[in-house]
Amino acid sequence: MNNDVIINVKNLSRYFRQFKKAEGMKGSIKNIFKRDYYLVKSVDKISFSVNKGELVGFIGPNGAGKTTTLKMLSGVLHPTSGEVSVMGYYPADRKKEYLKQIGFVMGQKSQLLWELPPIDTFKLNKGIYGISNKDFTKTLDELVSIVKIEDILNVPVRRLSLGQRMKCELVASLIHRPKILYLDEPTIGLDIISQKGIRNFIKKINKNEQTTVILTSHYMEDVQEICERLIVINNGKLVYDGKVNDLIKKHAQYKYIKCIFNVSVGRSEIEKYGEILSYESEGSVVSLKVDRNENTRILNELFKSFDIADVDISEMKLEEIVEKIYMN
């Protein structure tokens, strides 16, 4: 195994037995004496490894098995089968030595004490993890400075905004300086400014501490801005593992060209170059969808045929590409 590998997963599976309820009153009475079950394969024989200091996006549609996988990596759930090793530990053993080296933030679950200020949760974690006064003060000052929550440390959690609470959740999970941080939808429900703040925070922690981060998110902006590597799962199975840019190059069939013309152009003049996505200001601003392999040729022809003031070229959005993968 590579010396830099910090997480190693091989044929990891987690199956759940689901109760199948019969319809109607007769069915309910029957279920008292006999129940039918079926097997749900939440995670189905996935394999991957993660190196120290990597920022990995772990994505998939609802029910794909993302959170289940993170719970197995953190030791919350036992695998049904397969092998999993994190820093040489078997997570489900939940050894103190292992738990002290990981952090887990779930966007829809809070570890903050609702009626108390965040500083009380931070101090509670200090005691739980056995952090010295010196290390606690140093780490807290650094984290608070990065995430800019100096003015809310003593404000009851119930009076904080969602964005402020998520920043505090991250600080609470990092106060013991974990080597691995599992993030499950950390920006869910946040406004654009708060999302950006959380992303910058994650990148700084990774850069400053070499913290390994595995991030699940339905916001592709999170993944594209934070992560260089992407793991995609669907129906419990791994369907892609590689660089974000490689995924875009491999699956992005189109490019988008937005032209601003000095003179308005007619639809019939421009539609032969590609699919018209928008036609604004009486034809002086036009957006086209073109085959990425024809992009250079089409662009040259546009410049030869029209008086163009400005042009913008963009790739397919990551969510478009991922959606295509989900549907295959």
Cβ–Cβ under 8 Å, residues 42 and 86: no
* pLDDT average, residue stretch 7-25: 86
Predicted confidence at residue 281, as pLDDT, reads 86
**Rounded to 5 degrees, what are φ and ψ at 261?**
-95, 145
The residue ranking higher by pLDDT, 192 or 158, is 158
Q: What is residue 2's predicted lDDT score, i.e. its pLDDT?
A: 53
Band (pLDDT 50/70/90 cuts) for residue 20 is confident
Residue 77: per-residue pLDDT: 94
Q: What rounded mean pLDDT belongs to the chain?
A: 90
What is the residue extent of each domain of the chain? 5-249, 253-327
Distance in angstroms (rounded) separating the CA atoms of residues 317 and 328:
18
Cβ–Cβ < 8 Å for 166, 190? yes
CATH architecture of 5-249: 3-Layer(aba) Sandwich (3.40)
Listed in sequence order, the DSSP H helices in 210-313 are: 220-226, 244-251, 267-270, 295-305
How much is the average pLDDT of 38-49?
Answer: 92
Q: Give the pTM.
A: 0.82
Average pLDDT over residues 116-130: 95
Predicted local confidence at residue 219, as pLDDT: 85
What was the pLDDT predicted at 103?
94
pLDDT at residue 3 in the model: 59
Quote the percentage of the chain above a pLDDT of 70: 98
Which residue would you say has higher pLDDT here, 35 or 235?
Answer: 235
Q: Are 115 and 157 in contact (CB under 8 A)?
A: yes
Domains 5-249 and 253-327 share a fold: no
Q: Is 195 helix (H, G, I), strand (E, B) or coil?
A: helix
The CATH code of domain 253-327 reads 3.30.70.100
Which pLDDT band holds residue 1 (cuts at 50, 70, 90)?
very low
3-class state of residue 286 by DSSP: strand
pLDDT at residue number 248: 81
pLDDT of res. 317: 81
Banded pLDDT at 89 (limits 50, 70, 90): very high
Task: Summarize the confidence of residues 187-195 as an average pLDDT.
Answer: 82
Would you give the end-to-end CA distance of the chain in angstroms? Answer: 33
Please write the tens of the pLDDT for every residue from 277-297: 999 988 899 999 999 889 999
More confident: 132 or 325: 132
Specify the range with the lowest mean pLDDT, choosing from 98-102, 271-275, 315-319: 315-319
Residue 87 has a CB neighbour count (10 Å cut-off) of 17
CA 164/CA 174 separation, integer angstroms: 16
